[in-house]
Amino acid sequence: MKKTIIAAAVTLAAASLSTQAMARDSVWIAGSSTVFPFSTAVAETFGRESSFPTPKVESLGTGGGFKLFCSGVGVDKSDISNASRAIKKSEFDQCQENGVTEITEVKIGYDGIAIANSKSGPALDLSLGELWMALAKDVPNEDGKLVANPYKKWSEINKDLPDVAIEVLGPPPTSGTRDAFVELAMEGGCDSFDSVKALKDSDKDMHKAVCHGIREDGAFIEAGENDNLIVQKLIANPNAVGVFGFSFLDQNADTLQGAKIGGVEPTFETIGDGSYPVSRSIYFYVKNAHVGTIPGIQEYVAEFTNDKAWGPDGYLADKGLIALPDDMRASVAEQAQALKPMAAPAK
Amino acid sequence: MSNSHADGAPPKRTIDVVNASLKRRYARERRFRLVGLTAVILGLTFVGLLFADIIAKGHTAFVQTYIQLPVTFEAETLDPAGTRDPETLARANYQAIIRDALRSEFPDVTDRRGTRALGSMISVGAPSHLRDMVLANPDLVGTTREVWLLADDDIDMLMKGHINRDLPESERRVKDQTVGWIEQLEAQGRIEKRFNTIFFTTGTSREPELAGIAGALMGSFYTLVLTLLISFPIGVGAALYLEEFAPKNRWTDLIEVNINNLAAVPSIVFGLLGLAVFIAIFGVPRSTPLVAALVLSLMTLPTIIIASRAALKSVPPSIREAALGVGASPLQTQMHHVLPLAMPGMLTGTIIGMAQALGETAPLLMIGMIAFIVDIPSGFTSPTTVLPVQIFLWADSPERAFVERTSAAIMVLLAFLILMNLGAVLLRRRFERRW
């Protein structure tokens, strides 16, 4: 009896291994967790409305996605890589080395990072500099010397800010949102101090360390990758401020208010026209060598770059995607549908 | 005992010593009982709170809002040629007939914005529902029927009270205009909540109202079946060999220590191993029940081996001696007598190991299970997710309606875990023998 079970298990395993060599019939997308909600929405619509099977979308993070994408050509490698930043030169070179020579870059829109608190708390109007002062590990004192961040309350930074303790819930270093927040908000903020800005020319590494260093004395709390959790905690604690993707602010507009950054409120419009400073572009990358081998890649790209999906009134806008400007969208769509391979990135 | 004292003082008897300390001893015992009882009550309170919270958040996911509309299956739109060809009917524009139905229900809405808002009350899954209706019964074309259409998740949230109608309009996802329409429909009895069959019959979706757990449930089922097939024979075999046949020397000691250690290894490590060995070297396809089962088998093996060895140990040696005494070979002794007696204990260990595997996410992160897969898996090598991963993915979705669905999925997972553990307890009750 048991022998038969073992035999069955072995045959089963063997049978399944042999099917592996067969071609894959569905598109395989992997990468950023920021692009995941958009990519899945397109995949689902694509699966429902076309004759192709629904693509499989994996959430591995931007870096993990590129690692898989650039590991070679074949049915056991992903076809499309989602990214919440542009591909790096090192990743592009890795691709080239492994035979992934032709890659089509598709910029799909913008994603804002909201700095928000509960509606029952005070409304915030911060400059990037103030945000940096609140969260940096070391800040310059009156003489321009760097000292460990002494600020405990927002009002100590600027007396117009509320008189409550600085308590910011944000993503951990493994998150793409954290990377973008550090690059866009923190780096933008620290350069508003001349003494720190001067470092950029004299000591680049030091400048980076000062600008990117987030305080570890309890004022900044790493609240985990789950943005919903941050939202829940903000509702429970009106004095806390959270850092998370704009789509979560949009979905929770009844309980949360976004802080104005440099006087600009985070909205679809301000992120789309670039006036809201903490926003970034998001992308996906197509492996041209797989087109024609794996059915449906080109059709998926066409579905994504269709105005009914990524346009300002498309279904991705409902999911929180901020569309590219009209002329840009048209040109990106044209290049994407023609699968025009990208040139090597500069850095 | 020497109680002979010359000074005339009454001799101190043992009973007096005992009596003197008795009060203290009773008090100590009462304190211990009290502490124990408090711990149990505290534990139960937290479990109760957890369950109450999950059920309070999740019970609403088992119903779903539907809107009743008189839908005209316009022959002009659906089948202009009049051939009733299934191909044509499948491709027809069902969105258009829903739009027409809404328009005739609310004739005073004419501007583009209003029409859009009107259209967004109905789920994007409604057209395919109408298509299925027509394909099942082509005679519907040309008629008008009252149809209950699935409402959008925002409407569903409003109906369930998760969106507060009293808030100012700017702070609500559902605007006053839409609330007005909903109230009109409510007055006519054309909007109601029904049992949510979609939740149990479909795969996941980006639209909360269309999202179901069937895909993840089937994925968990395939994974567990395969895990059981792999780990049970190997685990029981290993336990039998180590306990009954292997010589006791330094090597077997080393193996024993390592098995015990493996049981305490963080499960993510098994995921990394799976990625490096099963996927990278053996080329097992990613995101499939097969690779998940291989990884989870590694994780449950130590649990099964340890439980099986304990079960074998509890079989009295007299059974073995008697069997050997009447001429059974060592293997016959084990297979005919020891193994059947140890089986209930082994099965209990296996069920607990399986329950652990059912609730595990960490090792699956590494092998491509954190994926959006709509289609319900059809076998051991089709891409799939499992229940805990589905919960993880929903908990991470921005849409408000996924909060209740996450809790509902947790309830389903918990129900299965409780059933499995109950099975283990019953098995033990029914078959366990004491000597």
Of the partner residues B206, B373, B400, the one whose CB lies closest to the CB of residue A251: B400
Co-location of B243 and B315 in the same domain: yes
Which of residues 20 through 49 in chain B touch A, CB cutoff 8 A?
none
Distances (CA, A) of A302 to A31, A42, A106, B38, B187: 19, 10, 11, 63, 44
Average pLDDT over residues B340-359: 92
pLDDT at position A204, please? 80
Residues of B in contact with A48 (CB under 8 A): 128
| SS3 label, residue B263 | coil
Average pLDDT over residues B50-62: 93
Q: Which domain holds residue A153?
A: 112-279
Last residue of a domain, one of B196, B222, B240: B196
> Around B321, how many Cα atoms within 13 Å sit in the side-chain half-sphere?
3
- Subunit contact B398:A9, Cβ cutoff 8 A: no
In the predicted model, is pLDDT for residue A233 greater than 80?
yes
Co-location of B183 and B227 in the same domain: no
Test the B interface: residue of A16, A267, A294 with most B CBs within 10 Å = A16
pLDDT at position B330, please? 93
- A32 within some domain: yes
pLDDT at position A321, please? 87
Q: What digits encode the pLDDT tens for the residues B361-398?
A: 889 988 988 889 998 998 898 899 999 999 999 988 88
pLDDT at position A48, please? 85
Of the partner residues B116, B282, B370, the one whose CB lies closest to the CB of residue A58: B370
Count of domains for chain A: 2
Q: What digits encode the pLDDT tens for the residues A249-278?
A: 888 888 899 999 988 999 888 888 888 989
Q: Read off the CATH number of the domain in which A66 is found.
A: 3.40.190.10
More confident residue, A21 or A98: A98
Length of chain B: 435
Co-location of A271 and A123 in the same domain: yes
pLDDT at position B89, please? 84
Q: What digits encode the pLDDT tens for the residues B194-236?
A: 999 999 999 999 899 999 999 999 999 999 999 999 999 999 9
* Nearest in space to A236 (alpha carbons), one of A225, A223, A217: A223
- B140 within some domain: yes
Q: Say if A34 is an interface residue toward chain B (CB within 8 Å).
A: no
pLDDT at position A202, please? 79
Residues of B in contact with A229 (CB under 8 A): 395
Test the A interface: residue of B396, B400, B405, B407 with most A CBs within 10 Å = B396
Q: Say if B2 is an interface residue toward chain A (CB within 8 Å).
A: no
pTM (2 decimals)?
0.80
Test the A interface: residue of B381, B384, B385, B392 with most A CBs within 10 Å = B381
Distances (CA, A) of B165 to B4, B70, B159, B176: 92, 27, 10, 9
Co-location of A64 and A82 in the same domain: yes
- B327 within some domain: yes
Mean pLDDT value across chain A: 86
Count of domains for chain B: 2
Helix or strand run (H / E) with residue A98: none
- B20 within some domain: no
Q: Say if B336 is an interface residue toward chain A (CB within 8 Å).
A: no
* Nearest in space to A66 (alpha carbons), one of A41, A101, A97, A30: A30
pLDDT at position A3, please? 55
* Confidence band for A303, pLDDT divided at 50, 70 and 90: very high
Distances (CA, A) of A97 to A30, A73, A102, B21: 20, 11, 12, 83
Q: Which domain holds residue B131?
A: 60-196
* Confidence band for B47, pLDDT divided at 50, 70 and 90: very high
* Confidence band for B75, pLDDT divided at 50, 70 and 90: confident
Measure in Å the smallest separation between the Cα of A117 and chain B Cα atoms.
Answer: 14
Q: What digits encode the pLDDT tens for the residues B275-301?
A: 999 988 998 888 999 999 999 999 999
Co-location of B232 and B366 in the same domain: yes
Test the B interface: residue of A3, A18, A19 with most B CBs within 10 Å = A19
Rounded percentage of chain B residues whose pLDDT exceeds 90:
61
C-alpha–C-alpha distance, residues B97 and B134, integer Å: 12
Co-location of A151 and A274 in the same domain: yes
Residue of B nearest to A46 (CA): B374
Measure in Å the smallest separation between the Cα of A76 and chain B Cα atoms.
Answer: 7
Q: Say if B256 is an interface residue toward chain A (CB within 8 Å).
A: no
